[in-house]
Amino acid sequence: MNALNQTEGKMDTETQRSTQLLGDPLAGAKAPGTKPTLAAGGQPAYFSCWDIHAYYGESYIVQGVSFDVREGEIVALLGRNGAGKTSTLRAIARADDPALRQGEVWLDHKPLHEMKAHQAAQAGIGLVPEDRRIIQGLTVEENLKLAQIAPPVGWSIDRIYDLFPRLGERRNQEGTTLSGGEQQMLALGRTLARDVKLLLLDEPYEGLAPVIVQEIEKTLEQIKSLGMTTIIVEQNAIAALHLADRAIILDMGQVVFDGTSQEVLDDADLRQQYLAI
């Protein structure tokens, strides 16, 4: 085969693959590990990660994760303790740890895999970490204002108080003295204060009383109705599945299921096997 033929052969394979992917852009369940869908024109979906591998030192944790998220969609990222959910979110947000050593992450046509964490944040990643990280010594309002210190700015502080009236009532209270539920509201509010294109929520209900969980759930429903694209990681899988359109299940750092939330709710064996519920 001469060089020209080789090139043609390669293009054929690539065209074929794109065609297959383009053929079913709104597919529900699909085999884990297939390349994320391409929107019309061969561009990546609004968000996609493709074959990402991430390590803590030599510890190989995220082992070839691929999935995509459409604009306005809410995806629940589920799995047992230690499955790699937090690590996947952190790899997407380009935290230093775990280090992303292979794979691609795209958000709204921007290559996050080429970025550092602060650049990924500027490109629209909004990670609300499990431990909420409210800044000590600052009031509620100062925490929110600090989030807006650099552009691009998102929601106004008044709009955040409309969503969370409790934060408005406590605007002059030191953030770290808020209750757990209020700190979760502040962590969410602080993220919305920046121009977020993809909200990453790591266990937003963790450690909260059921009545507060319901309150946060209502707020997340409101945020959903505004069309915010979101990935939610939650131990409370049933609550996450009711909020989310789609579910991705991780096990040992790999995707073992990618389909609709309803499929997971209807499949007791799947839930038992991977979620122990």
Ligand X SMILES: Nc1ncnc2c1ncn2[C@@H]1O[C@H](COP(=O)(O)OP(=O)(O)OP(=O)(O)O)[C@@H](O)[C@H]1O
User: Using CB under 5 A as the criterion, which residues of the chain lie in contact with Mg ion when the complex forms?
Assistant: 85-86
Is the Cβ of residue 140 or residue 237 nearer to ligand X in the bound state?
237
- Distance from C-alpha of 94 to C-alpha of 202, rounded to nearest angstrom: 15
CB of 85 to ligand X, least distance (A): 3
Tokens matching residue 269: 């064996």
CB of 253 to ligand X, least distance (A): 7
Task: Report the DSSP pairing between strands 74-78 and 246-251.
Answer: parallel
Pick the closer one to ligand X by CB: 42 or 82.
Answer: 82
List the single partner that 97 binds among ligand X, Mg ion, none, CB under 5 to 8 Å by kind. ligand X
Which residue lies nearest Mg ion, judged by its C-beta? 86
Of 84 and 154, CB closest to Mg ion:
84
Question: Which residues, in sequence order, are bridge partners of residue 160?
Answer: none
Q: Which is nearer to ligand X, 79 or 175 (CB)?
A: 79
What distances in angstroms separate CA 86 from CA 81, 93, 253, one per listed residue? Answer: 10, 10, 10
Q: Evaluate whether 55 touches 101 at the Cβ level (below 8 Å).
A: yes
For the CB of residue 30, give the shortest distance to Mg ion in the complex, in Å.
25
CB atoms within 10 A of CB 86: 19
Question: Considering beta carbons, is residue 77 or 185 the nearer one to ligand X?
Answer: 77
Q: Which does 84 bind (CB under 5 to 8 A by kind): Mg ion, ligand X, none?
A: ligand X
- Where on the chain is the footprint of ligand X (CB under 6 A)? 56, 59, 61, 79, 81-87, 97, 235
59 makes contact, choosing from ligand X, Mg ion, none, with CB < 5 to 8 Å by partner type, with ligand X
Q: How far is the CB of 203 from Mg ion (least distance, A)?
A: 6
The CB-of-19 to ligand X minimum distance in angstroms stands at: 35
Which one of ligand X, Mg ion, none is in contact with 61 (Cβ closer than 5 to 8 A by kind)? ligand X
| Closer of 86 and 191 to Mg ion (Cβ) | 86
200 binds, among ligand X, Mg ion, none (CB under 5 to 8 A by kind): none
Instruction: Quote the least distance from Cβ 130 to ligand X, whole Å.
Output: 7
